[in-house]
Each structure stands twice: as C-alpha cells, then as structure tokens.
Amino acid sequence: MDLKEKLLSSYLAFEETLDLDNDIHDIRNNAIKYFEDTGFPNKKLEAWKYTSLNSILKEDYSIFPKQSSAIDYKEVKQYFVYDIDSYQIVFIDGIYSSHLSKTTHDKFDACLMSSALNSSKYNKVIQKYFNKIAPKDSLTALNTAFSKEGAYIYIPKNVVAEKPIQILNFSTGNEHALMLQPRNLIVVEDGAQVQIIERHQSLTDNAVFTNSVTEIYAGKNAQADYYKIQSDKISSSLIDNTFISQERDSEVSVHTFSFGGKITRNNLNFYQNGSGINSILKGVTIIEGKQHVDHNTLVHHRQPHCESHQDYKGIFADKATGVFNGKVFVDKIAQKTDAYQSNNNIVIDDGATINTKPQLEIFADDVKCSHGCTIGQLDEEALFYMQSRGIPKKEARALLMYAFANNVLTSVKIPELKTRITNEIADKIGVQLGFDL
C-alpha cells in the first residue's frame, strides 16, 4: 500500500476516535477529501520542480505511534536553548510530554493543541483562527485532516511574553519509520509580543517524515519572532508549512536555520492585511552530502505602506542541493510597498547545485522592489589574505563561511540562541573559532 492509500485508510480509523460533534470535524473531512483528490505534490508542479518527495514517500511509516515513549531530560538537554526559566512545549513521537514540558495559562496560554481543540474554553479562538489562513494545498490539507497535537500559543492584547517559548518535537525511533504531523497555532493579539523557538529532532537513525503546519496571527502592533532550527539527522525529512497573517503595524520575523535533515522544504507564506506592516524572512542553509533544502517563500502585499525583507544565505558542499523560490506579490492597492529580496549562495564543490528563482508580480506602480541572487565560490583572494596572517586554510574557510552567514545571525534577538546557532554552524563546518561573531 502506498503512503497516500495508507493515510486515507488511517484517516477512517482516526475519524472514529474523534468527537463527531466537534466543529472542526467538517474541516477535517473537507481537507482529507482535498488531499485524496490532489495527493502528494510531484515534480510536474512548478512549485515542486526541484524537490522530489519520492525518496521519502516510499518508506512504510507508522501514522500513529503504537505507544508513548519517555525520554530522560539529560538525553535531550542539549536541544533546549534554555533549560530553566522559560516555557517549553515538548512532544515525543508526536505525543505531548508533560514530563519535559512547562506550560502556562497565567498571563498567556502556552499549551497544547489537543486541549485547545477539545476544550470549550478555547472554542472561540479555534473558531476564529484555526485553519483560516492556510490556503488549499495538499500537504497542508493532509495535516489539517490529522490535526491532533502541537503547540497552542495565545498571547492576549498588550501582553509581552518575556522569555522565548520553545517548541520541541523529538522522535525516539521506537517505530521503524514514523510520520509526524504537528499542528501549531500562534495568536498574538493587538500590541502583544512573543518569541518562539522551534526544533524538530530525531534521536535515532530511523526514518522520520514530518509534515508540519504552523499558523501565526499577528494583531495590530503585535510583534512575533519565530526561529526554526532545522538541524535534524540525515534520516529525517521535514516539510514545514508556515502561514502568517499580519494586521496593521505588526512586525513578524521568521529565521530558518537549515543545517540537517535529508530533504527539507520550507513553505513560508506571509499575508499582509493592513498598512505599516513589516515582514522579515531570513535563512541560513549549510548542507553537505546529498542533503536538500528548499525555501519556497511568499510575501503577499495587500495594503499600502508595508515592507518585506528577505535575506537567505546558503552554503552547499559535496552533492548538496538547494532551492530558493521567492515570490513577492504586490496588489494594485499596495502602493509605497518596500520589498527587498536577496539570496546569496556559496557552492563549495562542483557536485553541489543551487536553483534560485525570484518571482515578483507587481500590480502597483509606486513601489520599491528589489531582488538579487548570487551563486559563487569562497573568495580565493580572501583565503590567501587570511592565510598570509597565519590562519590555516580550513579555519580561513570557516571564518569566511561564518562571515557570510553573519548578517543573518545579527538579527537574531536572543543572545543564547545566537550562541547556539554559531556553535551549530561551527560543528557543521568542523571548526571552533572560539568567539561569537
């Protein structure tokens, strides 16, 4: 049975366990119907031209883990940016781990999607926001149909969440191969602020396929910073679908750090629904071997006087492949839009490939839109310059790579995270420089 068939038949069993009176039941049924009609995306689709899912779809995944697993904190401590003094929502094989988590309902809610979906207390928010911005898309629909667990974060009006909230998805390898579909909902009401760090981490070499959907709503003057650490094992693949809806004068940034995994696809979509909005998309990709990272971004400027800033850097070694497809839509009404897009890549080895494609569709006539992409090699002259100061070639290359990625790191607002990312980059490159840039 192929994966699609397996998912469709699993859905029938899954559906029976659900409360049929639940309001989202119809949403699920429509979603699975949509997935049934469209199936997994293939390379014939323009948006998937350079990313094939074939190699990951052929595994025989467990759709639901047979048992819940426990992990000792010390086994996974290294994956937490903060170990104390912050809220953490942790899942093990897709199941909430109360043992590793620290949730809250005090000033704001940082808890579970399962409770939000099933408790009447959250019904109003779910009704208003759940699955409202995600457009019709087969993978998002598949996630919607199976939506069960994930993070639910609700920051009420004018509340500032002071410490970052961490969302961690661990997989234990207790299943031969596991498919995960976390579903996160983040609502940041008017004038509220939040910082979120998300990580998917497999603890063994068993195959994991994650199809994640995150919806983020930023109210007027709200501010949200979302950091995605994609540094998973080579046996894991991730499709990350993130949809962000912004109201007037809000600012949302998403930083994506892609160092690990077999196939990583980021579908990152921003929708601007008021004026004075700023949308920030940043990414650093450093991959090797046969790793593949695809950034598919969309910023839809629907109102005047808004900004968007996209800055993606990639370093590709061995036979690694990278894709950047950045779409910017500027509606006719969206005058005075300032949209910037930049994608710079360094190809270390001849076997590495990068496909970069800016796609700007501008219907307004008074806008400032710029884009640029480069593909190059490490600057030989700079390497010689550094070597002539006594820095060996390997370290010189590392320093150049750090420097290249650095301007994306400078906008990381959490110092601990910045140090963490710097260290992950150092690990990836195999050189410790002994300082943060």
**Binding site residues, other proteins, CB under 8 A:** 379-382, 384-393, 395-396, 399-400, 402-407, 433-435, 437
Q: What are the residues whose beta carbons fall under 8 Å from the beta carbon of 124, sequence distance 6 or more?
A: none
- Contact call for residues 280 and 307 (beta carbons, < 8 A): no
Distance between CA atoms of residues 101 and 243, nearest Å: 25
Provide the 3-class DSSP secondary structure of residue 251. Answer: strand
Q: Which two tokens stand for residue 322?
A: 């990278």
Cβ nearer to other proteins, comparing 98 with 388: 388
Cβ nearer to other proteins, comparing 366 with 381: 381
**Residue closest to 431 by CA, chosen among 400, 405, 407:** 400
Distance between CA atoms of residues 208 and 200, nearest Å: 10
Q: What single DSSP character describes residue 78? A: G
Cβ nearer to other proteins, comparing 415 with 434: 434
Q: Which two tokens stand for residue 99?
A: 């043992």
Cβ nearer to other proteins, comparing 216 with 431: 431
CB 33 to other proteins: min, Å: 50
**Residue closest to 258 by CA, chosen among 403, 405, 143, 394:** 405
Q: Which two tokens stand for residue 436?
A: 């943060």
CB 318 to other proteins: min, Å: 23
Cβ nearer to other proteins, comparing 329 with 404: 404
CB 385 to other proteins: min, Å: 4
Cβ nearer to other proteins, comparing 352 with 431: 431
Task: Give the count of alpha carbons within 13 A of 132, CB side only.
Answer: 13
Q: What are the residues whose beta carbons fall under 8 Å from the beta carbon of 318, sequence distance 6 or more?
A: 288, 289, 290, 348, 349, 351, 352
CB 374 to other proteins: min, Å: 13
CB 391 to other proteins: min, Å: 5
- Calculate the CA dihedral of residues 289, 74, 199, 103 and round it to 10 degrees: 170
Provide the 3-class DSSP secondary structure of residue 266. Answer: strand
- Contact call for residues 358 and 341 (beta carbons, < 8 A): yes
CB 314 to other proteins: min, Å: 15
CB 358 to other proteins: min, Å: 22
CB 427 to other proteins: min, Å: 18
Q: What are the residues whose beta carbons fall under 8 Å from the beta carbon of 371, sequence distance 6 or more?
A: 326, 328, 340, 341, 342, 358, 360
Cβ nearer to other proteins, comparing 328 with 405: 405
Cβ nearer to other proteins, comparing 221 with 343: 343
